[in-house]
Homo-oligomer: A and B are copies of this chain.
Amino acid sequence: MNDACIKSDKDASNIRMRQIRETAVSEVIESERETRLSADGLIRLLEDDILNSVLKPGDRLDEQSLARRFEVSRTPVREALRHLASSGLIDIRKNQGATVKRLTTAELIEMFQVMAEYEGLSARLSARRMTTAEIAEMRNWNEECRVRADKEDHDGFYAANNMFHEAIFHGSRNEFLQEESRKLRNRLNAYRRHITTQPRRMQKSVIEHGRIADAIVAGDEDTAHSLMRQHVDLLAGTAADVLLALESETTE
């Protein structure tokens, strides 16, 4: 019934769906929980808080406060923090506690470049391996993107866009790739929303998605790879500007 292993971050496959639907989940008061959760559970909760920007970059994570809040001792809290640290979501500095990691523009650009490669590879593999059912699903999500884009529904587009990309990752049949990209996306999450809300971006994305889908269906892996990389890289390019602007503000 439990089996809440740690393995290497596996599980958590449907996290993104949850993100989309609930957006700000953890309004559930902790005291209402039935079972006293442990380190494994804490990881999930803290991760959610960071992903949903309840905890913002730079925020301090005080062991004692967290222990009180979750009604456990500091030991499991510390272990959860350690985990988050090595997955890159927080920084732990010796004797100085943990803070939500704040990324510099340079780091973000670097990470987006790697993300673009993940996506490119997933498109390449999908061009080889995707089933007809999966292709249909991918197309459906892009159709959803189009609908949302026409309505100027940024949040809806954001969600549908995620599902489109997710569909391609799934089609790649490479679980390791999916897992690594999930982790990276989590790390970028706090900065990601600022980007897709660019003026003409949504319409362009829908068109690019279409071309990528075509290449995948045609089984043209090089084209699929290349188009997808450029698609994501473009986002990264425009992202750089946005982010440089953000950097001047006090993120606080």
| A interface list, Cβ under 8 A from B | 2-9, 40, 75, 78-79, 82-83, 85-88, 91-94, 101, 107, 110-111, 113-114, 117-118, 120-121, 125, 174-177, 180
B114 & A121 in contact (Cβ 8 Å cutoff):
yes
Closest A-B pairs by Cβ, 4 of them: A110-B176, A8-B88, A86-B86, A110-B174
Chain A contact surface mostly: helix
B110 & A121 in contact (Cβ 8 Å cutoff):
no
B176 & A6 in contact (Cβ 8 Å cutoff):
no
List the number of copies, as a whole number. Answer: 2
Residues of B within 8 A of A75 (CB): 75
Residues of B within 8 A of A174 (CB): 110, 113-114
In angstroms, Cα B4 to Cα A121, docked, is: 35
A91 & B176 in contact (Cβ 8 Å cutoff):
no
Closest B residue to A2 by CB, please name it.
Answer: B94
